[in-house]
A and B are shown apart, each in its own frame.
Chain A
Amino acid sequence: MTETRAPVRGQAADVGTVHAVSGPVVTARGLPAARLYNVVLVGHARLPGEVIRLDAGDAVVQVYEDTAGLAVGEPVADTGEQLQVELGPGLLGSIFDGIQRPLTTLARRADDPVGEPMIERGASAPSLDRSRAWLFEPDVAEGDEVSAGDVLGTVQETGALGHRVLVPPGVAGAVTRVARGQVRVDEPVVWIGAEPLTLLSRWPVRLRRPIARRLALDQPLVTGQRAIDSLFPIARGGAATIPGGFGTGKTVLEQSLAKWSHADVIVYVACGERGNELTEMLDEFPTLTDPRTGSPLLERTVIIANTSNMPVAAREASIYTGITIAEYFRDQGRDVAVLADSTSRWGEALREVSSRLEEMPAEEGYPAYLSTRLAEFYERAGAVACLGGGERTGSVSIVGAVSPAGGDFSEPITQHSLRLAGTFWGLDTNLARRRHFPAIDWNRSYTLYDLDAWFDDEVAPDWHAQRAWVLQLLQQESSLLEIVQLLGADSLAPAERVVLETGRLLREDFLQQSAFDDVDAYCALPKQHQMLRVVHAAHDAMAAAVARDVPVETLAAAPVLREPARMRSWPDAEVAGNADALVERIRHDLEEL
């Protein structure tokens, strides 16, 4: 664990000149003191960029903006700083680009909130609003000894979330002065020794923030998605990967997770995808309330948006910006979910820059360090004991969508992600085409997290048994379907055809879950359990009936077996009663046959 603090500002800025330009990659000369990953400002337009290679006298820079018009000989100024994010109150509910420029601020012109609808080159604004004042309530007094991670005080950032102001990593000592009341983010609130601390702190995005220690991953991140929670759950602090061809439902699933996951903070990284998808979130999230806190969903969400038409190098930075913000909330003792859509676009940005550097490509043109970079990202997930007093724990869970070329999962980003993530939700094009959503392929997907114990304790003692039954039944169904494809359903024994009928109930009435249905978009765990109990009972009743030689056709046509289709619209309060009654009716009606 790196016990570093954010590097301090550099000395007097060096200025070199542009020597070469190739798309987003610029070579600068005359910057002998430049350090790797320093931020430089390129050209008269002062386009921000990052030094990604030092080669003899050349500093190679990836520029975060369109370089059109940039000429050889224009100045390149070294800021002496690494690429950092601003951390503090005001993050929640905001939307930033890949290098944390505030998009709402950039769109504003005078009184018109969208007077500047296009992102013009060289536009800049501070990430966090400098004019807004926050009520700071200190938890420390003069003379207290504090060290990194200790809580200095709280700002009620949103209705639901108290923003804990922490001693930054690397700082320790006695509190010499404390301010209270309304403060702006860049005003000092607490002095440690002679050092004033503000609500705002900075952290370099490529460096993970320090923790006390890692914790075991033994609790699920509950998502309200049946195919996930009941079959392939993700651990809080774990990582999941969602590969899927276009139109298979990656974005809808990521957005559902953003809406319904049991997390305190959501960091949504829209990396190289569509602008309209963000607009949709920005329209919808303020109108939805988090059922667990009653506050608008947007208030727990930070959006990092670098859409496909925004500069490609900033897309590369966007996932680091997102994960650093997530770690910052984690350090306050929060459960954070980072939803990245899509990591493939990040990988492609890496590939594009690498190819401009004329690096030797490995698989499919990606640089050889692709897997290392991906690992560095996924390894920043975890459940942790936070630095500082007070026994805080927090977590960062990562769910990364992958967009494999041609929908073929053998490509490098899918394969590397599979090695790194503990949960794999593979989306299947055929399921999506027949509008089975979420199109999670139950035959290929898996979870490596063992969370059965938690579900047994918290939801129902037979949770694990039911889960095992479902997985086994679906497995059996798909082998039987292969036979049917060759020989027709007639070739199967009645008991086997009961498996097929049960499989149909599972798929249509349990696994399918519309993200756009007001009731069904989120399914509570007890409801998931009851729904499965009904399907299981239907299976047992059908098995008993065929044992009495009732024809499978008669069973399949039984009206009572259409009723499970309506389970999804049961209100939570009525679930247990409805399930008992339906199980009873199924047993009764099928016995009559």
Chain B
Amino acid sequence: MTTAKGDTTLLTVEHETVSYVAGPLLVAGQMTGVGYDELVEVVSDGRVRRGRVLALEGDRAVVQVLDGTTGLSLPGTRVRTRGEVARVAVGDDLVGRILDGSGTPMDGGPPLRAVEYRDVNGAPINPVARNHPSEFIETGVSAIDGLNTLVRGQKLPIFSGFGLPAAELAAQIASDAAVPAAAEDAFVVVFAAMGVTQREAAFFRSTFAGSAALERTVLFLNTAEDPAVERLLTPRAALTVAEHLAFDRGRHVLVVLTDITNYCEALRELSAAREEIPGRRGYPGYMYTDLASLFERAGRIRGRAGSVTQLMILSMPDDDITHPIPDLTGYITEGQIVLSRELDRRGISPPIDVLPSLSRLMNAGIGAGKTREDHRAVADQLYAALARGRDLRRLVSIVGEAALSETERRYLAFADSFEQTLVNQGATRRTIEQTLELAWTLLRDLPPDDLKRIDPALVERYAGPGATVDPPTA
């Protein structure tokens, strides 16, 4: 663990009265002078573990031990206080490095040359100082660019299910999102893996820390074998580094956090160990606030060049979007990209279900001068038509296709071709122009009079002369 610069030894005090150890927690007595939320060192048999103060009462402190409590004994354990909250090294030097879940290099490279050590908790951005995100990021993915547009400074999770290709999608976005940036070196990926398996870690390492990509990546790696409570520190350390790169160094930072579900499990584990009153499904009542303290660190600041964009991967337990983890996340983030198991089974790649997906900042990032004047209307029309086509699909499964009118059949066909062509793009990259053109191709197959969401002048302009003629109906 990186500790504060300068001489903190004067503040270092050792206490020898540990009275309780269980799970991730330890209770120490005679802890005078230690501050709430400060970092402590737990020393036992010559090994130093890191801990954080969770509560103070009189001279007793409840300490969360980040490196696990296995092997601790009451008489043999001492707690050392340093008068410091958890800090992490920040600086350009971190780019290209692989660090553990709390920011210590694990790539065998030289020690970090830190500009500064910063409190991992950061401080809330004053809403007055925020710059409203409005710069379009072309991800190359039609279902995102066309219908759920991402902008710089946004926080947008990918709601996935176990086994769905969320990591691949995140990697694709991370590699393509760099392209429209003004200068190549202005773009950095800060990647924080929390509780990932060895297999996932290998994928992320090869994607984000392969030879070329590593030059613009900071990788924080907390794997499934690492202590769960360290996971609570990992995203905070990563975001602290990202804020420095963005707001002090003017870089556009894409923070990828994965997997939020593992993070929340760690939160629940700690809460249970503290015997707190649980909220829904055993998750602590403060989970919303805790997640917000991470996600709200995305954004832009007036007068500063850089940005922090967050892309989080979240595996929905049981594919259930009402589960507390996706639910609370969706309440905080600026939309969500939802992956569908059904689409995945049908071989659609990426399996993005656009109906439950949303980008709340889309309106600010699209339109004339940004993407194209018809973008909003086209997206609205696609949504409306897809919703109708999906309803009909459900109906057909009950009453059969014969019961449909000609118009209804066209909507049914629309839903199919929407999924098969617009969404199902595989690894190809599409420009926003290509996405919108494709959208018009699909819309042309609907009755022109039904394009109620689009200004007739735009229909005229983009649907071409042929499309304004109503094809004969049966």
Contacts and interface: CB of A to CB of B under 8 A. Distances in A.
B223 interface: no
A95 B452 contact: no
Interface stretch (A66-74, A391-399, A465-473, A579-587): A66-74
Given A112-B303, A275-B130, A279-B127, A69 B384 contact: no
Contacts of A119: 123-126
Contacts of A245: 327, 330
A305 B324 CA distance: 25
Contacts of B36: 21-22, 67-71
B335 A247 contact: yes
A121 interface: yes
Given A69-B85, A114-B129, A308-B292, A355 B123 contact: no
A36 interface: no
Given A276-B130, A312-B286, A508-B452, A73 B32 contact: yes
A446 interface: no
B380 interface: yes
Contacts of B302: 113-114, 117
Given A276-B133, A280-B132, A435-B387, A352 B285 contact: yes
Interface in A361-390: 361, 364-365
Interface in B292-351: 292-293, 296-297, 299, 301-304, 322-324, 327-328, 330-332, 334-336
Interface string B114-158: 000001011111111111110000000000000000000100000
Contacts of B398: 485-486, 488
A21 B285 contact: no
Contact of B126 (A118, A345, A562): A118
A114 B55 contact: no
Given A21-B56, A117-B247, A69 B35 contact: yes
Interface string A548-559: 000001000101
Contacts of B360: 247
Interface stretch (B42-50, B177-185, B275-283): B275-283
Contacts of A247: 330, 335-336, 358, 360
B35 A71 contact: yes
B355 interface: yes
Given A247-B360, A308-B289, A485-B395, A20 B55 contact: yes
Given A114-B303, A355-B276, A68 B125 contact: no
Interface in A34-57: none
B449 interface: yes
Contacts of A118: 122-126, 129
Q: How large is the interface on A (under 10, 10 to 19, 20 to 34, 35 or more residues)?
A: 35 or more
Interface in A265-314: 270, 272, 274-276, 278-280, 282-283, 305, 307-310, 312
A269 B162 CA distance: 38
B124 A309 contact: yes
Contacts of A19: 57-58
Nearest to B379: A435
A312 B331 CA distance: 16
B288 to A, nearest CB: 6
A103 B126 contact: yes
B59 A305 contact: no
Question: In this complex, which of B123, B124, B125, B276 has the most chain A Cβ atoms within 10 angstroms of its Cβ?
Answer: B124
Contact of B387 (A270, A408, A434): A434
Contact of B55 (A22, A403, A489): A22
Question: In this complex, which of A305, A309, A487 has the most chain B Cβ atoms within 10 angstroms of its Cβ?
Answer: A309
Contact of B125 (A275, A434, A435, A516): A275
A236 interface: no
B303 to A, nearest CB: 5
B38 A246 contact: no
Nearest to A275: B127
A305 B123 contact: no
Contacts of A308: 288-289, 292-293, 296, 332
B452 A562 contact: yes
Nearest to A360: B277
B210 interface: no
A159 to B, nearest CB: 23
A195 interface: no
A66 B119 CA distance: 13
B254 interface: no
B28 to A, nearest CB: 13
Interface string B97-113: 00000000000000000
B469 interface: no
B57 A20 contact: yes
B48 to A, nearest CB: 22
A68 B34 CA distance: 10
Contacts of B242: none
B58 A307 contact: no
Contacts of A113: 302
B428 interface: no
B197 interface: no
- Which secondary structure characterizes the binding site on chain A? mixed
A69 B38 contact: yes
A406 B280 CA distance: 10
B253 interface: no
A309 B298 CA distance: 11
Question: In this complex, which of B121, B129, B299, B302 has the most chain A Cβ atoms within 10 angstroms of its Cβ?
Answer: B129
B203 interface: no
A489 B122 CA distance: 58
Interface in B359-402: 360-361, 363-364, 376, 380, 383-384, 387-388, 394-395, 398-399
Interface string A10-28: 0000000001111100010
Contacts of A484: 395
Nearest to B328: A405
Contacts of A121: 123
Interface string A135-164: 000000000000000000000000000000
Contacts of B121: 66, 68
Contacts of B56: 20-22, 71-72
A405 B124 contact: no
A114 B125 CA distance: 11
A518 interface: no
A488 B58 contact: no
A103 B279 CA distance: 32
Contact of B128 (A69, A103, A274, A348): A103
A502 to B, nearest CB: 16
A106 B126 contact: yes
Nearest to A351: B285
A433 B58 contact: no
Nearest to B298: A276
Contacts of A405: 280, 322, 324, 327-328
A352 B126 contact: no
A120 B343 CA distance: 47
B403 interface: yes
B55 A107 contact: no
A116 interface: yes
A565 interface: yes
Contacts of B129: 107, 114, 116-118
B275 to A, nearest CB: 10
Given A66-B121, A405-B322, 4 more contacts: A118-B123, A246-B330, A247-B336, A565-B452
23 contacts: A69-B85, A70-B35, A71-B34, A72-B59, A73-B33, A95-B127, A107-B126, A118-B129, A119-B124, A245-B330, A247-B335, A276-B127, A278-B130, A279-B128, A308-B289, A308-B293, A365-B277, A405-B280, A405-B324, A488-B395, A488-B403, A489-B403, A489-B405
Interface of A: 19-23, 27, 66-73, 95, 103-104, 106-107, 112-114, 116-121, 245-247, 270, 272, 274-276, 278-280, 282-283, 305, 307-310, 312, 345, 348, 351-352, 355, 358, 361, 364-365, 403, 405-408, 433-435, 484-490, 508-509, 516, 553, 557, 559, 562, 565
Smallest CB-CB A-B distances: 7 pairs: A308-B292, A434-B387, A406-B322, A117-B129, A309-B296, A68-B37, A246-B330
